[in-house]
Structure 1
Amino acid sequence: MKVYVFKSLPPFLWGYTRDIRAMWALEECGIAYETIGLDCGPNGLQDETWFEKISPFKQIPAIDDDGYILTESGAILLYLAEKSGKLIPSDLQGRAQVYRWLITSLNNIEPFALPVLFADLQGDSNPHLKALRPWHVDILGRFLPKIDQIVQNQPFLMGSSFTVADIAFTCVLREIRKTEILAGYPNIVKYRSRCEERPAFGKVLDAYEDRLGIARGSAR
């Protein structure tokens, strides 16, 4: 399987990009893959025009499974889980709960976590986004306390089993890992550490830093 990833990024994007999600799932699922690296353009998009035939919005990640092309990190995570039979329950209702938690991460958490990240990155150069930051933090406060309670008594979102929903949620949490927000949710902090201590994640992040040519720990 081919996976399209970044091979160069501006420093402010190190460790935040969504190719980490796809590679983490590939490692956890035991699927052999090769990476195809692209350079991040000035607007965060790829300059190679050929890539638009693979990813219509020229976004990373994308996978090519023997000619079957798929984009969007959430769809890729679910595809890899279904293909391998790993990181997802075998019964319909169990799988639906994984879909639910993955969608929660991408629909309820990330739309408010990303603006916080961008507000912090842009600072005074974007006063409008800076002014909206407290509102985005307040919205996150609708969701994170409930999840903090859930992972207080179980290691992962689905209970004892690590799934692709945990990959999605952990990677979304990484978008606000350098803010003050997570300090108010000690169980989520422990949960994130537990997920990132998995050998597959460590292997992926090491390879990510090596591919970008940056010092070890720069994307942590």
Structure 2
Amino acid sequence: MLKLYGFKKVNAMARGNTRDLRILWALEEMQMPFKLEGIDHPAHELNTEAYRKLNPFQQIPVIDDDGVVLSESGAILIYLAKKSGKLIPSDFASESQVVRWCFVATNSLEIPLMNILMIDWTKDDGCKKYREFLVGWANHHLSNLEHWLEGRQYVATDSFTIADILMSHVLAVIQDESLLQPYNNVRNYLNRCLVRPAWKHTIDSYYKNVEAG
């Protein structure tokens, strides 16, 4: 059976924002059976030789599918989608658009947004100018995404795909509401993704099973 290495305990600040949620959401959408191997982050269970063999960067998530071991949430989602035949089109051209937007989410959008989040977590006033630069960078990409989403329900195809899991989870890390306020299409898109029953079930189960440490 597919094993997913995800958190069973994580520091309180990160709880609810961890990348194993992307895989848990996809598995719920796909209705794929799996076994969760819970990792205690505060107890340093990521920092072992055994875990380093699964992921040399000692991060969550990782899957082990009968010996096929993968890390990186984007790579895992593509693998699961192609294996299940769900949340990704069967034709090569449309599949390539989904892969394209997976990379957009985890590269163009996630880098500035995660950096802003980390600065806000640390409350380091010395990073004010750097934060302003990151906000400008984020707004540039959010503005372009706003135009792209005009008249579109989802980001890569007409149907919900793994690209939407990645994109909406990246956008959901935004805690400074002023960043999203100007972008109606982006906000509506995010809400459209996060009202899906599979996401609601996933996040509810996560909070029941993942302790804050």
TM-score (structure 1 length as normaliser): 0.90
Aligned with 2:191 (options 190, 193, 196): 193
Contact conserved, 1:81 with 1:88, CA < 8 A, in 2? Answer: yes
- Name the residue aligned to 1:33: 34
Pairwise CA RMSD:
1.7
Secondary structure of 2:132's match?
A: helix
- Name the residue aligned to 1:122: 122
Deviation of 1:187 (Å): 1.3
5+ residue gaps, structure 2, are: none
Secondary structure of 1:14's match?
A: coil
Secondary structure of 1:184's match?
A: coil
- Name the residue aligned to 1:207: 205
- Name the residue aligned to 2:147: 149
Q: 1:45 to 1:110 in 2, by over 3 A?
A: farther
Secondary structure of 1:35's match?
A: strand
- Partners of 2:158 and 2:26 in 1: how far apart? 18
Q: Deviations over 1:81-129 (max 9, x none)?
A: 11011111111110111111110111111111111000100013x623x
- Name the residue aligned to 1:158: 156
5+ residue gaps, structure 1, are: 215-220
- Name the residue aligned to 2:13: 12
Q: Percent sequence identity over matched residues?
A: 37
Deviation of 1:52 (Å): 1.0
Aligned with 1:137 (options 127, 135, 138): 135
Counterparts of 1:170-189 in structure 2 under 5 Å? 170-189=168-187
1:190 corresponds to which letter in structure 2?
A: N
- Name the residue aligned to 1:64: 64
Secondary structure of 1:175's match?
A: coil
Deviation of 1:54 (Å): 1.1
Contact conserved, 2:98 with 2:162, CA < 8 A, in 1? Answer: yes
2:62 corresponds to which letter in structure 1?
A: A
Deviation of 1:146 (Å): 2.0
Deviation of 1:159 (Å): 3.9
Deviation of 1:30 (Å): 1.8
Q: Give the paired residue count.
A: 211
1:62 corresponds to which letter in structure 2?
A: V
Q: Deviations over 1:59-98 (max 9, x none)?
A: 1000011111110011001001110111111111101111
Deviation of 1:178 (Å): 4.1
Contact conserved, 2:5 with 2:60, CA < 8 A, in 1? Answer: yes
Q: Which deviates more from structure 2 when the two are superposed, residues 108-117 or residues 32-41?
A: 32-41
- Partners of 1:63 and 1:213 in 2: how far apart? 21
- Name the residue aligned to 1:78: 78
- Partners of 2:87 and 2:151 in 1: how far apart? 20
Q: Which deviates more from structure 2 when the two are superposed, residues 143-152 or residues 56-65?
A: 143-152
Pick 1 or 2: higher relative contact order, CA cutoff 8 A, min separation 6.
2
Contact conserved, 2:3 with 2:35, CA < 8 A, in 1? Answer: yes
Is 1:96 the equivalent of 2:96?
yes
